[in-house]
Amino acid sequence: MRQTIWRAGLGVLLLALGGGAARAQASLFGPETLHGVIDVRLSAADGETSWLDGGAGKTIASGDEAGLFLANAALEWKPRFSFAFSGVVTAELQPKLDPKADLGEAYLKFRGPPSRLGRVSARAGLFYPPVSMEHDGVAWTDPDMLTASAINSWIGEEVKVGGLEATAERSFGDHQVSATLGVFGWNDTSGALLSFRGWALHGVKTGAKTGFELPPLSKYMKTKQAPDTYPVLELDNRAGFYGRLEWRPPAPVVLNATYYDNAGDRISVAAKQWAWETRFLNLGVKVALGDRTSLLAQAMSGETLMGYRAPGGHWIDMGFHAAYLMASRDYGADRLSARIDWFETNDRTLRALDDNDETGWALAADWRHPLSPRAALLFEALHVSSDRPGRAYGGVAPKQDQTVLQSALRLTF
């Protein structure tokens, strides 16, 4: 599987370079090929220690930490090899992660010309599957909010893949329909962070080498699972897949559905890093209510399993569910956004030894004020409430509430 994916990617690269040598549309370096974002924040928070600092807190800020910090800086290179072939390479700097500097996404793109049968496009490399409806800014950022929903925060953490993706688009009268199929590897540990920490809300983006420290594990799992996890990892040499359908009717509505399955075998392991069998269904909708107001919603339901079958079930057998509704409205050049999140995990096995149940909700409100075409101020108030029995393994009360106030200067180019 690994060799097949890389050979196909190499074939796309050779075609891209060959086409680029023959066409005047090629542009490898220049102002139009380089984009970037810098996000500097000032935050204050209460509540428990952030998951980024080894705790089980749900946000990027810790209760004992406040002040000015660089949240993210990214440089995005988009070379064009020919009319049909282009590329994307993103370098990320996130000081709260390990390593701080990393490769974000790197893939080759093909976009064919339109025809009476529609249009075909494809990409090959390291990228996020098309699940998030929030991250349409530079370098996979959310332009309107500082904190992503629980669903898309998890996509940013644990659902980055290395593989191939193809999309076919076609119009049927006034209706536009697209279908996407992806085949991938390097996502075997997807589910580890969600199981042992639960859901979180932030703007973190995993890189090719990123490792996350897990919260304190139960005595049962300490002998089986490493204290950290690496989301971009291949362990079982199996290919996962996802499929996506999108429908744009003759109305201000976009509907989509995505099914993802990493096809992990559950018992492949290296240095206590396990292959997880993780699958989910995601539904999304976007509605425009006039020229100034929009609604965005996603709902996800899935499951993740890991390890051998023991008396009482697999080591980990967990269902997970989440949804959000977001409303945004423009007031002149400013934009106000508000979102409500609901999330839960259902531990279906061995809860007496390792309890990964969780229920929670969150409210967020953001104001974006542009200073110039390349600079904006963002202000956010976020409150998260969750109940997770597994917090007791680290000596923390299961029920936690946290409020985070953040402001940011965001520069883009």
Q: What is the DSSP string of 168-222?
A: EEEEETTEEEEEEEEEEES-TTTTHHHHHT----S-----TT-BEEPPPPPHHHH
Q: Nearest CA to 228 among 52, 392, 59? A: 52
Average pLDDT in the chain:
93
Which contiguous run of DSSP H or E holds residue 5?
Answer: helix 2-22
For residue 209, what pLDDT is reported?
98
Residue 295 clears pLDDT 90, i.e. is over it:
yes
Residue 159's contacts (CB-CB under 8 Å, 6 or more residues apart) are: 128, 129, 131, 187, 190, 231, 260
Residue for token pair 């085949």: 183
Residue 7's contacts (CB-CB under 8 Å, 6 or more residues apart) are: none
**Across residues 145-164, what is the average pLDDT?**
98
Residue 350 clears pLDDT 60, i.e. is over it:
yes
For residue 126, what pLDDT is reported?
98
Residue 354 clears pLDDT 90, i.e. is over it:
yes
For residue 3, what pLDDT is reported?
53
Task: Catalogue the E-assigned strands of 221-333.
Answer: 228-229, 240-248, 253-261, 269-270, 273-274, 277-289, 293-310, 313-331
Q: How many CB atoms lie within 10 A of CB 51?
A: 25
For residue 62, what pLDDT is reported?
75
Backbone angles phi, psi at 220, to 5 degrees: -65, -40
Residue 18 clears pLDDT 90, i.e. is over it:
no
Residue 162 clears pLDDT 80, i.e. is over it:
yes
- In this structure, the chain runs to a length of 413
Say which CATH superfamily domain 2-412 falls into.
Porin (2.40.160.10)
Q: Is the pTM of this model over 0.75?
A: yes
Cα separation, 383 vs 381, in Å, equals 7
Helix (H, G, I), strand (E, B) or coil at 151: helix
Helix (H, G, I), strand (E, B) or coil at 302: strand
Give the Å distances, CA to CA, from 120 to 8, 129, 245, 247: 17, 17, 14, 16
Q: Where are the domains of the chain?
A: 2-412
For residue 7, what pLDDT is reported?
52
Q: How many CB atoms lie within 10 A of CB 372?
A: 7
Cα separation, 334 vs 292, in Å, equals 11
Residue 334's contacts (CB-CB under 8 Å, 6 or more residues apart) are: 367, 368, 369, 370
Alpha helices in 68-173 (DSSP H): 150-158
Alpha helices in 55-166 (DSSP H): 150-158
Cα separation, 239 vs 260, in Å, equals 12
Q: Nearest CA to 314 among 264, 358, 362? A: 264
Cα separation, 86 vs 41, in Å, equals 33
Cα separation, 214 vs 197, in Å, equals 7
For residue 55, what pLDDT is reported?
83
β-bridge mates for residue 69, sequence order: 41
Cis-peptide into 215, omega within 30 deg:
no
Q: Nearest CA to 363 among 318, 310, 401, 306? A: 401
Q: Are 276 and 192 in contact (CB under 8 A)?
A: yes
**Across residues 83-91, what is the average pLDDT?**
96
**Across residues 30-45, what is the average pLDDT?**
94
Quick: pLDDT tens for 120-144.
Answer: 999 999 999 999 999 999 999 999 9
Please classify residue 3 by burial: count the beta carbons closer than 10 Å to its beta carbon, then call 0-12 exposed, 13-18 middle and 19+ buried: exposed
For residue 65, what pLDDT is reported?
64
